[in-house]
Structure 1
Amino acid sequence: MAGADNLHQKRIGTTERESAVSALGIHLSEGRLSLEEYEQRLTHTMDAKTNGDLLAIFSDLPVPHPTLPGVATLRPTAPRPPQAPPPSDVVVYSSKSKIAAGVLQLIPSFGIGRFYTGHIGIGLAQLLLTPVFGIGVLWCWIDGILLIANGGRDSRGLPLRD
């Protein structure tokens, strides 16, 4: 047992604390901890100096526990249900161009840029308001400038490409 005690007395670092914070976040999101308990345990996690200090924070919680090198978790880890892979940093862009959409909004000023991006409802509103009140022209100009400056999204929610 001296070896186990020695492992519990090993000092921890940022990686171990981050692992504990992540595990606490999961317990909070799954309703095992109240916000007050989470904050208390988070404070204890930041103050922890050894593996034993971190494990004590999780003594009454099921898995997940923090990953600590050389230390077994408090309970055997049950297989977790498969989860979706974490989102990647790859952004999928629309086949539509924000410059083309903006220019089509500015030049004819009839909402053509919105038809191009697939926003038929907005395009129809701009088209109908243009001859009636002339408000549609101002709306199209502002919309076109914003599309060029900030981009936008197509009807599927994908960001317009540059």
Structure 2
Amino acid sequence: MPEPHQLAADADRAAVVTRLDESLADGRLTLAEYEDRSTRAHGARTYGELAELTTDLPRPAAPATPAAPGPSPVARAVYGGAWHGAWGNDLRAAWTSWLVTGVIVTGIWLVSMLGSGDLVYPWPVWVVGPWGVVLLARTLGERRSRGDRQLPA
């Protein structure tokens, strides 16, 4: 806390007025008390003058930190929570990217095959094949490493 004789800034005065606003909304201050204190807060020059305005008010509670979200109920039921791995990566997004890429490159291959009229080498296998093998190994590895651990509630 700064020394009472030090000069207050506009942000300090605004913070005190915000606290007075909350106290008025909570019913701790009457409208007359609020008007008097907010007028004095806007005219305050030092931290000591600002502190006088809130000494009889309770300190604001510390903001609660939200809990980290766990797997969705669908992921729990269908996949047993294996979609969120040890690295924090989302396997569902990885599989979706793989599938979208596979559809796109297969579509390009089909269009080029139909456009040329000849049988074109199925090159999309080399795009989606190794990627799919790596994703499958990772998915199975995460399911095995999970073992009997319980999912968070």
Bin of the TM-score, shorter chain as denominator length: 0.3 to 0.5
Q: Output the TM-score relative to the length of structure 1.
A: 0.37
The structure that has the greater radius of gyration is: 2
Q: Output the TM-score relative to the length of structure 2.
A: 0.39
